[in-house]
């Protein structure tokens, strides 16, 4: 507390720093001002070293004693002097994370999907702050999104997504997320969202481009003149779809040149994600020369061709080799160059169990494949996780904070220092807020407490009905465990034995979602709670869909007319469930809930119908 004048506390930042540190200082001073109930000014100061912010508690401006070891990377350190608090970070963006972490220690909350809360405190509480130091457990802490979910061809839909971005990106930065990866699909006309760029840049968040771009790097127009560049099927017929013929040197040279141009045109790109077509199989070449090469080796040949050309360029980003679908199993003959990292995306894994849980009937195979990837790539690897994947989870609400915690600990114990989580804008925040919070906390410290995270997220999003929503989230977590062990929730393809068991488990999950709804029904009617109402509708959707899927599994066990009648009634139940989502405010459910769910559900319903007709083959190419 200041005895020397009314000016304190005030925030100073190094004038040698740029816009990121200035934003960190503003964010900190406005948070302190809200909590202390007084003006807190922030100003640049030439006497401060880089990546340092000073909070003067009095006018004395005496320096704090900081440790002699300067923080590295995004690490930060809070140190104390008698009349000041010093924040030092290894990077300017580390200052944003540090300032928010300091405000959290004082009682502020930054919950996903709602405005921060800054409770009033006494200035003595700020003066009592003790020193601490944070080194994030993972060096790369990223979110990833499909560019198409911005619906950028429609101005009003794009603006709806941008309203979400303006809240979400500051939330990411405050939680220490340091990269954002745009996933491009073959039909995308953009490789990034220009309107989002300043939000990321001002916070020092790295951008990464790429995605399913191999098809773009070999222009499809060249098919007419050079069909030999394109992949052949088992019948030897070349097709314009899929990746390329890797045995054709001209095709490989064309793709390499395309990738180099991509890198040179976008020097801000920090990691080049070169992925193949987004299909389970059939995108690689089966011509006479290629057919001896499994997909992993065909893919590696192309990636190494690009990596070899980029190796000589100091500023070129590393390249990510996607381990996914037909490449999730590493081939022992993989020989990645030093600037190639694997990007491991275990989409069909089980989310009812942790990745290293030996009890699980699915995950041990994935965990083992990951260990082999780590060996082959000498530890150079990124994890691509699906904790907030609205497509994988059928748009149902789920919460698996304990799985996120165990997974991240398992990934760290393999020496992996890079994790990302796929998101679908506002919809992911509505349906998976606990998982997003768990991911953000766990990427800093995988020792975080998952249940406290669930309770804290409930309280942060719903301060006036925290207990009711915490009870609801708890039920959602229990329901999640019953549903997430067969891959895509909307595609219940499994053995008859598992189907018989799963039918009962999904029925139990319905009752568990009903518990969540009942818990939320306890909220006083006098309270106006639009966000809780939206989540309740989401859980009704989840309950209705799971009832339909349970019935569907029952129908598949029948024959003849019973199979047909019961199956169609089950599909009708799944189809009708969407009305619950249609009733939710689009500001809460975002572009994915308002538009993308509508076309994706047609694919889901079509697949369920084909499964009933006896053709269980999933849709080959979703996008
Ligand atoms: Zn070929
Ligand atoms: Zn499992």
d(CA 251, ligand 1 centre) in Å: 10
- Whether the CB-CB separation of 517 and 529 falls below 8 Å is answered with no
Q: Which residues surround ligand 1, an ion (CB under 5 A)?
A: 245, 247, 285, 287, 290
Q: Which two tokens stand for residue 220?
A: 């499809």
Q: Residue 327: pLDDT band by 50, 70, 90 thresholds?
A: confident
Ligand nearest to the CA of 293: 1
Instruction: Give the pairing of strands 179-183 and 206-211.
Output: parallel
CA distance linking residue 72 with residue 89, whole number of Å = 7
- Whether the CB-CB separation of 9 and 81 falls below 8 Å is answered with no
d(CA 479, ligand 2 centre) in Å: 14
Ligand nearest to the CA of 242: 1
Checking if the pLDDT of 621 tops 60, the result is no
- Nearest 5°: phi and psi at 232? -100, 150
d(CA 293, ligand 1 centre) in Å: 9
Q: DSSP letters along 497-531, please?
A: HHHHHHHHHHHHHHHHHHHHHHHHHTS-TTS--HH
Ligand nearest to the CA of 252: 1
d(CA 511, ligand 2 centre) in Å: 21
pTM of the model: 0.96
**How far lies 62's CA from each of 81, 82, 125, in Å?**
7, 8, 19
CA distance linking residue 193 with residue 185, whole number of Å = 14
d(CA 173, ligand 1 centre) in Å: 45
SS3 content of the chain, % helix, strand, coil (to 5): 50, 15, 40
Give the residues across from 383 on adjacent strands: 344, 419
d(CA 279, ligand 1 centre) in Å: 18
d(CA 432, ligand 2 centre) in Å: 20
Computed over every residue of the chain, the mean pLDDT equals 94
Ligand nearest to the CA of 483: 2
Ligand nearest to the CA of 505: 2
Q: Is 122 helix (H, G, I), strand (E, B) or coil?
A: coil
Ligand nearest to the CA of 357: 2
Query: How do residues 184-237 score in pLDDT, each as one tens digit?
Result: 998 899 999 999 999 999 999 999 999 989 988 998 999 999 999 999 999 999
d(CA 403, ligand 2 centre) in Å: 11
d(CA 402, ligand 2 centre) in Å: 13
Q: Is 80 helix (H, G, I), strand (E, B) or coil?
A: strand
**What local confidence, expressed as pLDDT, does residue 7 receive?**
56
CA distance linking residue 440 with residue 193, whole number of Å = 23
d(CA 482, ligand 2 centre) in Å: 10
Query: How do residues 539-559 score in pLDDT, each as one tens digit?
Result: 999 999 999 999 999 999 999
Of the candidates 411, 459, 379, 375, the one whose C-alpha atom is nearest the C-alpha of residue 112 is: 459
Average the pLDDT over 461-485 and give the result. 98
Ligand nearest to the CA of 403: 2
Checking if the pLDDT of 87 tops 70, the result is yes
**What local confidence, expressed as pLDDT, does residue 61 receive?**
66
**What local confidence, expressed as pLDDT, does residue 126 receive?**
97
Q: Residue 481: pLDDT band by 50, 70, 90 thresholds?
A: very high
Checking if the pLDDT of 619 tops 50, the result is no
Ligand nearest to the CA of 232: 1
Higher pLDDT: 116 or 8? It is 116
d(CA 454, ligand 2 centre) in Å: 21
Ligand nearest to the CA of 243: 1
Ligand nearest to the CA of 247: 1
**What local confidence, expressed as pLDDT, does residue 66 receive?**
66
Long-range contacts of 216-222 (CB under 8 A, 24+ apart): 216/184, 216/186, 216/258, 217/254, 217/255, 217/258, 217/259, 217/262, 217/274, 218/243, 218/244, 218/251, 218/254, 218/255, 218/258, 219/254, 219/258, 222/254
**What local confidence, expressed as pLDDT, does residue 290 receive?**
96
Query: How do residues 351-402 score in pLDDT, each as one tens digit?
Result: 999 999 999 999 999 999 999 999 999 999 999 999 999 999 999 999 999 9
**What local confidence, expressed as pLDDT, does residue 617 receive?**
46
Q: What are the helix (H) ranges across 351-495?
A: 363-376, 401-413, 425-431, 433-444, 450-461, 466-483
Ligand nearest to the CA of 234: 1
Ligand nearest to the CA of 486: 2
Q: Where are the beta strands (DSSP E) in 233-348?
A: 269-274, 319-323, 340-344
CA distance linking residue 305 with residue 453, whole number of Å = 44
d(CA 296, ligand 1 centre) in Å: 14
d(CA 278, ligand 1 centre) in Å: 19
d(CA 238, ligand 1 centre) in Å: 9
d(CA 517, ligand 1 centre) in Å: 55
d(CA 373, ligand 2 centre) in Å: 21
d(CA 608, ligand 1 centre) in Å: 35
Would you call the peptide bond into 352 cis, given omega within 30 degrees of 0 as the criterion?
A: no
Q: Residue 6: pLDDT band by 50, 70, 90 thresholds?
A: very low
d(CA 316, ligand 1 centre) in Å: 29
Checking if the pLDDT of 618 tops 50, the result is no
> Which H/E stretch holds residue 140?
strand 140-146
CA distance linking residue 199 with residue 609, whole number of Å = 43
Ligand nearest to the CA of 236: 1
Ligand nearest to the CA of 238: 1
- Whether the CB-CB separation of 616 and 493 falls below 8 Å is answered with yes
d(CA 570, ligand 2 centre) in Å: 25
**What local confidence, expressed as pLDDT, does residue 201 receive?**
98
Ligand nearest to the CA of 485: 2
Checking if the pLDDT of 620 tops 60, the result is no
d(CA 277, ligand 2 centre) in Å: 28
Checking if the pLDDT of 280 tops 50, the result is yes
- Whether the CB-CB separation of 578 and 601 falls below 8 Å is answered with yes
Average the pLDDT over 279-305 and give the result. 91
Ligand nearest to the CA of 480: 2
Checking if the pLDDT of 606 tops 50, the result is yes
d(CA 326, ligand 1 centre) in Å: 17
Q: Is 172 helix (H, G, I), strand (E, B) or coil?
A: helix
Q: Residue 63: pLDDT band by 50, 70, 90 thresholds?
A: low
d(CA 247, ligand 1 centre) in Å: 5
d(CA 382, ligand 2 centre) in Å: 22
Higher pLDDT: 325 or 297? It is 297
């Amino acid at each position: 507390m200041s005895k020397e004048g009314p000016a304190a506390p005030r925030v100073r930042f190094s004038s040698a720093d740029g816009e990121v540190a200035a934003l960190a200082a503003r964010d900190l001073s406005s948070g302190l001002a809200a909590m202390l109930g007084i003006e807190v000014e922030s100003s640049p100061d030439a006497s401060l070293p880089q990546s340092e912010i000073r909070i003067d508690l009095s006018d004395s401006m005496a320096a704090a004693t900081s440790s002699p070891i300067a923080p590295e990377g995004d690490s930060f350190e809070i140190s104390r002097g008698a009349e000041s608090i010093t924040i030092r970070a290894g990077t300017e963006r580390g200052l944003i994370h540090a300032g928010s972490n300091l405000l959290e220690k004082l009682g502020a909350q930054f919950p996903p999907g709602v405005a921060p809360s800054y409770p009033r405190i006494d200035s003595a509480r700020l003066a009592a702050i003790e020193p601490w130091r944070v080194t994030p457990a993972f060096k790369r802490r990223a979110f990833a999104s499909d560019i198409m979910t911005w619906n950028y061809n429609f101005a009003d839909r794009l603006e709806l997504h941008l309203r979400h971005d303006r809240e979400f990106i500051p939330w990411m930065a405050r939680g220490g997320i340091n990269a954002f990866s745009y996933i491009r699909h073959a039909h995308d006309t953009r490789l990034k969202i220009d309107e989002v760029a300043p939000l990321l840049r001002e916070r020092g968040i790295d951008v990464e481009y790429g995605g399913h771009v191999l098809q773009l790097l070999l222009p499809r127009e060249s098919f007419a003149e050079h069909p030999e560049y394109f992949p052949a099927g088992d019948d030897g017929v070349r097709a314009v779809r899929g990746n390329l013929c890797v045995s054709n040197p001209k095709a490989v040279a064309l793709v390499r040149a395309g990738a180099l141009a991509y890198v040179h045109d976008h020097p801000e790109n920090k990691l080049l994600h070169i992925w193949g077509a987004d299909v389970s199989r059939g995108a690689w070449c089966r011509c006479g020369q290629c057919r001896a090469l499994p997909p992993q080796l065909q893919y590696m040949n192309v990636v190494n061709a690009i990596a070899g050309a980029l190796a000589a360029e100091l500023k070129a980003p590393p390249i990510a080799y996607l381990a996914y679908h037909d490449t999730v199993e590493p081939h022992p003959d993989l020989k990645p160059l030093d600037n190639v990292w694997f990007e491991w995306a275990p989409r069909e894994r089980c989310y009812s169990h942790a990745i290293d849980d030996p009890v699980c009937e699915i995950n041990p195979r994935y965990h083992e494949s990951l260990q082999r990837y780590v060996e082959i790539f000498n530890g150079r690897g990124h994890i691509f996780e699906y904790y907030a994947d609205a497509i994988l989870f059928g748009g149902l609400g789920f919460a698996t904070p304990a799985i996120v915690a165990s997974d991240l600990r398992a990934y760290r114990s393999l020496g992996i220092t890079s994790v990302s989580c796929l998101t679908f804008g506002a919809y992911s925040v509505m349906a998976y807020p606990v998982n997003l919070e768990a991911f953000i906390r766990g990427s800093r410290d995988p020792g975080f407490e998952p249940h406290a995270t669930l309770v804290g997220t409930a309280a942060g999003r719903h301060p006036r009905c925290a207990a009711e929503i915490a009870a609801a989230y708890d039920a959602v977590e229990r329901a999640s465990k019953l549903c997430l062990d067969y891959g895509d929730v909307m595609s219940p393809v499994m053995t008859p034995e598992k189907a018989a068991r799963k039918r009962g488990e999904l029925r139990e999950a319905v009752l568990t979602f009903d518990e969540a709804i009942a818990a939320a029904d306890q909220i006083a009617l006098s309270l106006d709670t639009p966000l809780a109402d939206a989540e309740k509708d989401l859980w009704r959707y989840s309950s209705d869909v799971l009832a339909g899927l349970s019935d569907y599994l029952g129908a598949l066990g029948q024959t003849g007319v019973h199979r047909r009648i019961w199956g169609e009634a089950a599909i009708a139940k799944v189809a009708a469930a969407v009305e619950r989502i249609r009733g939710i405010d689009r500001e809460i459910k975002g572009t994915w809930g308002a538009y993308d769910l509508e076309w994706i559900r047609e694919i889901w319903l079509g697949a369920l119908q084909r499964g009933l007709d006896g053709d269980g083959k999933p849709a080959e190419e979703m996008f």
